[in-house]
Amino acid sequence: MILVTGATGFVGRHLVRRLCGAGEAVRCLVRPGSPGLQWLESHPLEVMPGHLLDADALAAACQGSRKIIHLAAPIHEGRDAWVERVHCEGMARLVEGARAARVERLLMVSPLGTGSSAGLPFLRSRGRAEDLLRESGLPFVILQSSLMFGLGDRLISGMIRLLTRTGLLLIPGTGKTMLQPIWVGDVVSCLLRALHDEEVLDRTIPIGGPQHLTYEEIADQVGKMLNIPRVKVHLSRRAVAWATRLLEGLGLNPFLGYRHLELLEVGTITALDAVRRSFGFQPMPLIEGVAYHLVPRREMGAPRPPSGAERGSRTRDQR
Ligand SMILES: NC(=O)c1ccc[n+]([C@@H]2O[C@H](COP(=O)([O-])OP(=O)(O)OC[C@H]3O[C@@H](n4cnc5c(N)ncnc54)[C@H](OP(=O)(O)O)[C@@H]3O)[C@@H](O)[C@H]2O)c1
């Protein structure tokens, strides 16, 4: 049994589809009232209600689970103190439950740039949660990822929606932050391998796609690929943050939340061959991935065409 937290989120949905497709027994810890609950219940898996701060729910969810993939993250929460509590207390309770249930491996996905010297409170408290896991004595793998894209993401999907509806390409701030976009399906492949591979055990592994791109270059590539008349608009980060907070306050869902905007200001790059070195395959380039993502049918079911390098190592995924 594999326990997944955050299964209703962007990465979680892609992961759960692949795990269920591979015939794995999956259990998901889901907050009562989660908007993703109905979607999850349409899959052959076990749903256990619970919040990350609910020690009893976590202990029950861990019982009988051999492995855990921890994706739940309070990115939509407003207050830093609450975010820190969910990160740290949530991790402490998960570790407690995992230890009691003799879980064999606990995987976690974080953004690149976490740690005690990080500029953002979100990244600092996530860094503390990672430390709790590293010091727990449990076998672990921590993936630290750059920006992910794919069906259901906020950034690229939002960019495409705005562009197709208004012809505008919006660049918040300078647009010069360096990113290394990675397709969510490739992140899921890394997670599936990290469930079994011995070489990655007890390691913190940075991952990213095959290109270093600024936010503006990402927007340019997406605009060029869609090939529709467009106007690029630079807006100060302060103006975008203000508009985002206003929309969020009105209960609307801007394509980038306030914390996403904050995280976008942090350069998140690693080696271009990071995935190949740790997981033995080459992730998909941005435009190939976005083109693929524009035909959602493929991501919803049929497997994507593997890249040349991945074809050679695909059998490792099937273990
Ligand atoms: N997306 C990226 O580009 C990216 C890049 C690097 C790293 N990451 C990391 O990857 C992980 C998954 O990201 P994502 O984009 O899938 O996030 P997401 O779409 O925002 O999903 C977050 C998930 O966490 C759950 N959650 C939040 N607070 C919770 C709580 N207190 N108790 C239980 N569940 C809770 C949410 O449940 P509800 O359905 O109830 O809201 C949702 O399922 C995160 O750790 C994130 O930091 C993401």
Q: Where are the alpha helices (DSSP H) in 77-227?
A: 80-100, 121-134, 155-166, 184-194, 215-226
Ligand 1, residue 155: give the atom nearest the CA. Answer: 3
pLDDT at 228 over 80: yes
**277 domain residue, yes or no:** no
DSSP state of 290: H
Same domain, yes or no: 38 and 169: no
Same domain, 227 and 154: yes
Q: What is the structure's pLDDT at 252? A: 65
147 lines ligand 1 (CB under 6 A): yes
Tell me the per-residue pLDDT of 26-45, one tens digit each, with 9 for 90 and over.
999 999 999 999 999 999 99
pLDDT at 300: 44
Indicate which CATH number applies to the domain containing 243: 3.90.25
Residues 169 and 105 in one domain: no
Instruction: Output the domain CATH number for residue 54.
Output: 3.40.50.720
CA distance 12 to 144: 16
Statement: residue 318 has pLDDT above 60:
no
Of all protein residues, whose CA lies closest to atom 18 belonging to ligand 1? 9
Host domain of residue 246: 149-181+209-268+284-302
Q: Give 99-113 pLDDT, tens digit per residue.
A: 999 999 999 999 999
* Tokens standing for residue 65: 């689970």
Query: What CA–CA distance (Å, rounded) separates 156 from 267?
Result: 17
Residue 213: strand, helix, or coil: strand
Q: How far is ligand 1, taken at its centre, from the CA of residue 110, in Å?
A: 10
Task: Clarify whether residues 47 and 119 are in a common domain.
Answer: yes
Q: Are residues 166 and 293 located together in one domain of the fold?
A: yes
Q: Which numbered atom of ligand 1 lies nearest the CA of 147?
A: 3
Nearest to 172 by CA among 234, 256, 126: 234
One domain for residues 220 and 259: yes
How sure is the predictor about 172, in pLDDT bands with cuts at 50, 70 and 90? confident
In a domain, residue 263? The reply is yes
- Shared domain for 9 and 130, answered yes or no, is yes
Residue 317 lies in a domain: no
Domain co-membership, 94 together with 238: no
Whether 99 and 173 map to the same domain: the answer is no
Whether residue 72 has its Cβ less than 6 Å from ligand 1: yes
Same domain, 26 and 73: yes
Q: Decide: 150 and 111 in contact? Cβ < 8 Å.
A: no
- Is residue 136 domain-shared with residue 175, that is, in the same domain? no
- Give the Cα separation of 222 and 163 in Å (integer): 9
Residue 198 inside a domain? The answer is: no
Identify whether residues 70 and 141 lie together within a single domain: yes
* 102 part of a folded domain: yes
pLDDT for position 187: 98
Q: Which residues contact 154 (CB under 8 A, 6 or more apart)?
A: 10, 255, 256, 257, 260
Give pLDDT tens digits for 119-167.
899 999 999 999 999 999 999 999 999 999 999 898 888 888 888 888 8
pLDDT given at position 267 = 79
Cα separation values, 254 from 34, 133, 163, 223, 240, Å: 19, 33, 14, 20, 10
Residue 193, domain member (yes or no): no
* Residue 85 covered by a domain: yes
The answer for residues whose C-beta is within 8 angstroms of residue 245's C-beta and 6 or more apart is 258
Q: Which pairing describes strands 26-30 and 182-183: parallel, antiparallel, or unpaired? A: unpaired
Terminus-to-terminus CA distance in the chain, angstroms? 15
The Cα 187–Cα 181 span in angstroms is 11
Residue 196 inside a domain? The answer is: no
Task: Count how many domains the chain has.
Answer: 2
Could you give the percent of the chain with pLDDT greater than 90?
A: 64
Under 8 Å between Cβ of 144 and 127: no
